[in-house]
Copies of this chain bind each other. A is one copy, B any other.
Amino acid sequence: MKTMQIRILNGRTIAAREGESVYKTLKDNGVYLVASCGGKGVCGKCRVKILEGAGRIESSGKLRKRDIEENFVLACRTFPEADLLIEIPEESKLVIGDKIAAGKSRNLLEYLHSVEPLLSPMVRHVSLSLDPPTLENPVSDLERLKRALADRGLEGMRFSHGFLVPLARALREAGWKVSLSFAEDMQAVSLSPADKGTRYGIAVDIGTTTVVVYFIDCTDGSLVDVGVTYNSQMRYGDDVITRIVHATEGGGLQELRNAVVEDINDIIKPIMEKNNIIRDDIHSVVISGNTTMAHLFWGLDPATIREEPYIPTLNAFPRWKAGVAKLKVNHLAPVYTLPCVGSYVGGDIVSGVLASRLHKNAEIALFMDIGTNGEIAVGNNEWLITAACSMGPCFEGSGIRHGMRATDGAIESVRLDPRSFEPTLGVIGDSAPSGICGSGMIDAISELFFAGVIDQKGKFSRDLTTDRLKMGEEGPEYILHRGDLRDIVLTEADIENVIRAKAALYAGVSVLLKEVGLSLDIVERIYIAGGFGNYLNIDKAIMIGMLPDLPKEKFSFIGNTSIAGAYLCLLSEKMRKEAEEIAHKMTYVELSVLRGFMDEYMSALFLPHTDIGLFPSVKDLYHKDR
């Protein structure tokens, strides 16, 4: 085995292993590249430039001729054969850590303190001082521990085999002064010397496309760090249906399970190292995800989710241990899985409703979570109804040529000069743009539509002459940004993906409201959740017919509520109870079997809609502009 190194320009030097891709080697060392396809050479986003050295290049995927001439390679398809010096372009870097998260978690913590003065995480602690054993007092170690607990009023503690195996040594090494951690169900979790302080927990949002982890100090609720990565299950399929199909093929279920568990472990490892935190001190885990993601995480066969009558094995998950989940935290840490409602409305939506407080107010509100699946909930403190539709991963930056998550470098807003067709871009982090995120695409399509660059079907006008429009390898493209190395463009295929996604969402809302016999004007508030970062132009989203045409002040954009709800549940027993109540109260509607859904969807495949009368404000504006 050769010893080789990968040196990153202006960065670290990492040992490389023969036969392991540059992408995998960097990932294992905490250097994350964008790879929305999960590293199978398809998305073309993990471009790196080789400055020195050589590697075996298995495929160049979607790289352009010019890229290849300039020595760009796909990191996931390049295998070092000698020491390498590489440059990682900004747009290829996956930003681990979310600037928004810190502020958001502070707000959540404030909210939490407003409903409960003290935090109530899933694991509690008690300090105990035991009498050392003597010939006169020879009771067993466990009995001694139990007696000390009884003195503190704690009876009925349950002790797993894994807890008791190291007990004898732990008690003696701690000099019989210990701190015992135990879960809500009175399962002992760990024993440490009495003077040891901090305990950690992780809140995890398993999205179909991305995985987000909040690493929390459970003693004060503060955010230690945030990690984000693409869900590696992407390599087996973009959406839940293709993954369910993969799961039912020999070994597929375990592959999918391992992929996402490894993603989580990969995220927490560098955070632990950076903050000097040992595995055993991570005492609790909350998992929030849709029903399929939750099944795959736990290795439960999701086949019946896909087959009529669409039945999951579980909606309410018992609290299993992290060791069972194969998470590399304390193996006795309880793992709380947010309860699901039905096959296509999962714990992420329960989490979202919890974070929105919709279930606590008298006003009727509409909740939408816009991700790879679009989930909709309607209701108030008395009733709740919910449904889901498949939108595809375009708003999470996948399936779009230059799509990316809403992190530094993402174009998040676009304005178009209606005469010159020149764009003005808003970029997250004020750096040079490296791609476009969901809100940027909504802006761009809306502006292109109103400027007449695209028609109601999303096709580029063949009559316009502007050098912002060019013919790309896959058809016409609009150049959003001219870069030194590459342009950032929006293709017709990109626009088509967005229109399909917004049509599915709009049709879902329409059909669900019809199901409960409500009209839109009864809705007093609309919560929009999703991975858009901190920005979504509601007006523009209405203009393309994605959101219903209601007064702007009724809308609240509330970000990634799946992780927000997971965070709340990690720290509060009250929140965990409310989550159960929400899941229990929600009525689940299976849209695909409702008559009318397909009609509504087909009608919504226009900008903004076949029936422009549903969008009076857009109609006015459209006519005023002409």
Interface stretch (choices A61-69, A161-169, A237-245, A425-433)? A161-169
A148 close to B (CB within 8 Å): no
A141 close to B (CB within 8 Å): yes
A291 (CB) vs chain B CBs: closest residue: B140
Write the nearest CB–CB distance from A519 to chain B, whole angstroms: 26
CA of A309 to CA of B131 in the docked complex: distance in angstroms? 13
A335 (CB) vs chain B CBs: closest residue: B161
A622 close to B (CB within 8 Å): no
How many chain A residues sit at the interface, stated as a range, is 35 or more
CB pair A316 B168 closer than 8 Å: no
Chain B residues closer than 8 Å to A312, beta-carbon distance: 140-141
CB pair A164 B343 closer than 8 Å: no
Q: Which of B135, B140, B167, B299 contacts A308 (CB 8 A)?
A: B135
CA of A585 to CA of B320 in the docked complex: distance in angstroms? 36
> Knowing A314-B164, A318-B159 touch, does A138 contact B588 (C-beta < 8 A)?
yes
A308 (CB) vs chain B CBs: closest residue: B135
CB pair A313 B140 closer than 8 Å: yes
A147 close to B (CB within 8 Å): no
CB pair B301 A343 closer than 8 Å: no
CB pair A168 B593 closer than 8 Å: no
Chain B residues closer than 8 Å to A168, beta-carbon distance: 300-301, 303-304, 311, 313
CB pair B135 A314 closer than 8 Å: no
Write the nearest CB–CB distance from A248 to chain B, whole angstroms: 11
> Knowing A135-B593, A161-B298, A168-B301 touch, does A141 contact B314 (C-beta < 8 A)?
yes
Chain B residues closer than 8 Å to A316, beta-carbon distance: 140, 142-143
Most buried by B among A134, A299, A311: A311
CB pair B313 A133 closer than 8 Å: no
CB pair A313 B164 closer than 8 Å: yes
CB pair B298 A140 closer than 8 Å: no
Chain B residues closer than 8 Å to A343, beta-carbon distance: 138
CB pair A309 B158 closer than 8 Å: no
A310 close to B (CB within 8 Å): yes
> Knowing A161-B320, A161-B324, A324-B161 touch, does A140 contact B314 (C-beta < 8 A)?
yes
CA of A134 to CA of B324 in the docked complex: distance in angstroms? 32
A315 close to B (CB within 8 Å): yes
A590 close to B (CB within 8 Å): yes
Write the nearest CB–CB distance from A513 to chain B, whole angstroms: 20
A137 (CB) vs chain B CBs: closest residue: B309
Q: A residues 25-71 with Cβ under 8 Å of B?
A: none
A342 close to B (CB within 8 Å): yes
CB pair B315 A140 closer than 8 Å: yes
> Knowing A161-B320, A168-B304 touch, does A311 contact B590 (C-beta < 8 A)?
no
Contact with B along A282-315 (1 / 0, CB 8 A): 0000000000000000111101100011111111
A340 (CB) vs chain B CBs: closest residue: B140
CB pair A315 B590 closer than 8 Å: no
CA of A304 to CA of B171 in the docked complex: distance in angstroms? 12
Contact with B along A146-190 (1 / 0, CB 8 A): 000000000000111100110111001000000000000000000
A295 (CB) vs chain B CBs: closest residue: B168
A303 (CB) vs chain B CBs: closest residue: B168
CA of A167 to CA of B140 in the docked complex: distance in angstroms? 39
Write the nearest CB–CB distance from A205 to chain B, whole angstroms: 21
CB pair A138 B298 closer than 8 Å: no
Extra inter-chain contacts (6) besides given A133-B311, A141-B313, CB under 8 Å: A135-B310, A135-B593, A140-B312, A141-B314, A143-B316, A161-B318
Q: Interface of A with B (CB < 8 Å)? A: 133-135, 138-143, 158-161, 164-165, 167-169, 172, 298-301, 303-304, 308-316, 318, 320, 324, 340, 342-343, 588, 590, 593
Task: Write 22 A-B pairs (CB below 8 A) sorted by A numbering.
Answer: A133-B309, A133-B311, A135-B308, A135-B310, A135-B590, A138-B311, A138-B342, A140-B311, A140-B313, A140-B314, A141-B314, A142-B314, A158-B318, A161-B298, A161-B318, A164-B314, A165-B299, A165-B300, A165-B301, A168-B300, A168-B304, A172-B304
